[in-house]
Amino acid sequence: MPQQKALVLQSKQAQFILETRPIPIVGRGQLLVKVLAAGLNPVDWKIQTYGAFVANYPAVLGTDIAGEIVDVGEDVTGWSKGDKVVYQGSYFENDGAGFQQYSLIAADFVARIPEKMSYDEAATISVAFAAACMGLFAEAPIGLGLNPHFAWEPQFMGKTTVVIGGSTSVGQYAIQLLKFVGFSRIITYASACHFDYLATLGITDIIDRGTTPLNQLSLAVKKLTCDPLLVVFDALGFPEAQQAGYDMLSKGGQVMTINNDQRPQKSESDGKIFREVLGTVHLPAQSEFGRRMFRSLGKFIDEGVIKASCRIFPNRLEVLPHGLSGIVAGLDRLKNNQVNAVKLVAHPQDTE
């Protein structure tokens, strides 16, 4: 059986090692993809360090994937060998992960990469986009239900919203999606040095995290605006960020967070809703929305389909050297908070 190189965790909380494993065989309804770019995410180092999420070992991680279709399974229509695709890999199935040279994916969970977009750019999209999109657009209780069927008409003109952690990968997509559905004022909490870049994505105001601690964020927002605040997206996931988001909400408002280690202190009488998103299409309860999301994602990232003011831009990125071997150092940087406003991407095919 043909072999490939892969970065593998042999056991829970073990060190990553580079080894060979079989190239998976495409099944009915599936695509086999040559992985040309794989994005790194904080969940990857958390799985290795804490043993979270993954139950079976050896395990291959990596869920931000872009590449070229090399084989097409039975009953697949609309896709051909050589097509450029982007998708969210699975850490539930090794054959569907991205820290290897070939990967399997169900054909209805991929989006086409436009000609003007590189594989590296595409590999910054799927995981962070899924977290933001599911959190904001999906029907409750998965998300806040702002746009579950991807209507193109703005629905929230004249409204104000806040994104906590706007310079994070997830935060950048949350900003763009909130702009897409029409929010007129988008306030973010991030380093002030990122204002110009985040303004191109849609923010109107920034509260500098360097001068305003999270326990003062709610007050800072209320000084900026008296508008009702019914939607807050927390892309940081810290308990302090969750509490700040909850505190700044108007009565009946909703806050979505990417992490729920500790729920904020709240009053049952204020009508506020607090939710957590698990941004993966590979859970049965979320797969139908995931199919809708990937059908729309191709339009969102295709410059020729939607006007530039609404198109979804990939994160800024940094390509790591040495293929799969360079991922370990990249994950260490993520773990030690040494990555700021860029996405780390590896080239599995460049592995020596």
Q: How many other CB atoms sit within 10 Å of the CB of residue 207? A: 20
d(CA 117, CA 64): 15
* Neighbouring residues of 296: CB distance < 8 A, sequence distance ≥ 6: 150
Provide the pLDDT for residue 271. Answer: 85
Q: Domain 129-276 adopts which CATH fold?
A: Rossmann fold (3.40.50)
DSSP 279-308: --S-SGGGHHHHHHHHHHHHHHT-TTTS-T
pLDDT tier at 94 (50, 70, 90 boundaries)?
very high
Q: Give yes or no for a contact between 204 and 178, defined as CB atoms under 8 angstroms apart.
A: no
Its CATH class, for the domain covering 3-125+314-350, is: alpha beta
Could you tell me how far CA 293 lies from the centroid of its own chain? 12
Beta bridge partners, 205, equal: 187
d(CA 104, CA 30): 7
Q: What pTM, to 2 d.p., does this model score?
A: 0.88
Give the residue-averaged pLDDT of 12-30. 97
Spell out the domain ranges in the chain: 3-125+314-350, 129-276
Give residue 4's region: left, alpha or beta (phi > 0; psi -120 to 50): beta
Q: pLDDT digit string (tens) for 35-85?
A: 999 999 989 999 999 998 898 999 999 999 999 999 999 999 999 999 999
Relative to beta strand 64-72, strand 16-22 is unpaired
d(CA 151, CA 149): 6
Specify the higher pLDDT residue, 269 or 135: 135
Q: pLDDT digit string (tens) for 204-257?
A: 999 999 999 999 999 999 999 999 999 999 999 889 999 999 999 999 999 999
Q: pLDDT digit string (tens) for 305-338?
A: 232 334 566 778 999 999 999 999 999 999 998 9
Q: How many other CB atoms sit within 10 Å of the CB of residue 331? A: 26
Residue 209 buriedness (CB in 10 A; 0-12 / 13-18 / 19+) = buried
Q: In whole numbers, what is the pLDDT of the chain averaged over residues?
A: 91
Residue 22 has pLDDT above 60, yes or no: yes
What's the CA angle centered on 63, arms 58 and 68, to 5 degrees? 105
